[in-house]
């Protein structure tokens, strides 16, 4: 039995359909990340699970029962909001315990639960303060505490880290991971940040235009993107997508006269003369030093940016741009022609029309 089952959920606002049939089955203890850009429907789906919006069609089940039509308080869920949504007039302790107070949990029991949660989140010294006296990170901990204290079946997170600065976001990400590993809770987490998705999720649902583009583990999403959209969305810098033509079991990259070998697993699915999109992760590219095997192509280096741990190099193959993440001390300079090399096995092939991967699994 799944902990949370999202079955064929549709949502329509007048003429606009924001969710077009979403199906996800979540096992207990899973951390599902709904990943997508603004307007893809991920927050709408979260609000539907929470009971803050009603779907036009489909069903949501927590455990064995359908929760459609149930009041948010009766769904056995807790939610953490992007804006923290702390009650400004209440102390931290009361904010955390408010859900229990409304459920008429006796004060002594409530206080014990609040203290335990505060200890878990290392905010015991803040219990008497008001939200206005807290930093962004502290507020977020209180918001998480408010969800944790009720010990619900499913936790919902709506972009909880997007209001924090980069350093704090990383700290809180680790903290969330630690909490999930410790408490083994079932989580649905909405974000547009692919790093958050990759680091936190046990499974990621990449959403686009109200549909799930791909649902899989972070490794599957990264290593075997099902569509051009997923390939471009996950990974930073994003995957290079190059136009190419199939020619006698080889690939001719547009703008490069030297053909490269076709990955073995694609040979049976492409025809001679077929146009394809070739996907190459920037981190899979190396600068050729001579004697390497693999696909090689010449490119003119345009820009070199040192980020610290890597040298992000942008180069041109004819009219096509390509980005490579090279080791920081690589000897490349803007303006020179270099040969790049990549293992043939890590190449991705997509159909230019449908945008779908040509991989057959």
CA pair distance 285, 263, nearest whole angstrom: 16
> Minimal distance in Å, beta carbon 94 to another protein?
9
Neighbours of 256 (CB within 10 A): 18
> Minimal distance in Å, beta carbon 230 to another protein?
30
For another protein, the closer of residues 79 and 325 by Cβ is 79
For another protein, the closer of residues 99 and 259 by Cβ is 99
> Minimal distance in Å, beta carbon 99 to another protein?
4
Residue ranges in contact with another protein by CB under 8 A: 47, 50-52, 71-73, 77-79, 81-90, 98-99, 102-103, 146
For another protein, the closer of residues 6 and 100 by Cβ is 100
Nearest CA among 42, 308, 350 for reference residue 197: 42
> Minimal distance in Å, beta carbon 77 to another protein?
7
Beta bridge partners of 17: 12
Compute CA distances 255 → 54, 58, 277, 287, 300, whole Å. Answer: 51, 49, 13, 18, 11
Cβ-based neighbours of 341, under 8 Å, separated by 6 or more: 285, 286, 287, 288, 292, 294, 295, 296
For another protein, the closer of residues 146 and 180 by Cβ is 146
> Minimal distance in Å, beta carbon 109 to another protein?
16
DSSP codes joined into one string, 64-77: TEE-TT--GGGS-E
Cβ–Cβ under 8 Å, residues 227 and 214: yes
For another protein, the closer of residues 84 and 297 by Cβ is 84
For another protein, the closer of residues 144 and 278 by Cβ is 144
> Minimal distance in Å, beta carbon 126 to another protein?
18
How are strands ordered across the β-sheet holding 77-80? 77-80, 154-158, 186-191, 31-35, 203-208, 211-216
For another protein, the closer of residues 142 and 212 by Cβ is 142
> Minimal distance in Å, beta carbon 83 to another protein?
5
CA pair distance 359, 90, nearest whole angstrom: 55
Cβ–Cβ under 8 Å, residues 143 and 81: yes
């Amino acid at each position: 039995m799944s902990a949370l089952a999202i079955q064929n959920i549709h949502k329509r606002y007048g003429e606009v359909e924001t969710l077009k049939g979403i199906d996800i089955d979540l096992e207990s203890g899973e951390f599902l990340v709904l990943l997508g850009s603004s307007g893809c429907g991920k927050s709408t789906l979260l609000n539907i699970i929470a009971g803050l919006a009603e779907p036009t069609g489909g069903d949501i089940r927590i455990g064995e029962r359908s929760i459609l039509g149930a009041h948010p308080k009766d769904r056995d869920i807790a939610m953490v909001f992007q804006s923290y949504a702390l009650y400004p007039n209440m102390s931290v302790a009361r904010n955390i315990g408010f859900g229990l107070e409304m459920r008429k949990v006796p004060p002594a029991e409530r206080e014990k639960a609040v203290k335990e949660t505060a200890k878990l989140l290392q905010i015991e010294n803040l219990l008497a303060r008001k939200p206005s006296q807290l930093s962004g990170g502290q507020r977020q901990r209180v918001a998480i505490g408010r969800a944790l204290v009720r010990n619900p079946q499913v936790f919902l997170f709506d972009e909880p880290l997007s209001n924090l600065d980069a350093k704090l976001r990383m700290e809180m990400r680790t903290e969330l991971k630690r909490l999930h590993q410790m408490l083994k809770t079932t989580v649905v987490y909405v974000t547009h940040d692919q790093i958050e998705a990759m680091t936190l999720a046990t499974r990621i649902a990449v959403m686009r235009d109200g549909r799930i583009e791909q649902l899989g583990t972070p490794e599957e999403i990264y290593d075997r993107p099902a569509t051009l959209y997923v390939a471009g969305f996950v990974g930073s810098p994003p995957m290079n997508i190059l136009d190419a033509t199939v020619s006698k079991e080889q690939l001719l990259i547009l703008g490069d006269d030297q053909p490269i070998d076709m990955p073995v697993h694609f040979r049976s699915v492409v025809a001679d003369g077929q146009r394809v999109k070739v996907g190459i992760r920037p981190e899979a590219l190396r600068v050729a030093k001579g004697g390497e095997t693999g696909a090689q192509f010449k490119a003119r280096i345009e820009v070199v940016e040192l980020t610290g741990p890597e040298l992000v190099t942008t180069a041109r193959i004819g009219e096509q741009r390509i980005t490579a993440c090279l080791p920081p001390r690589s000897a490349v300079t803007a303006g020179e022609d270099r040969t790049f090399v990549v293992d043939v096995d890590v190449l991705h092939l997509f159909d230019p029309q449908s945008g779908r991967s040509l991989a057959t699994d």
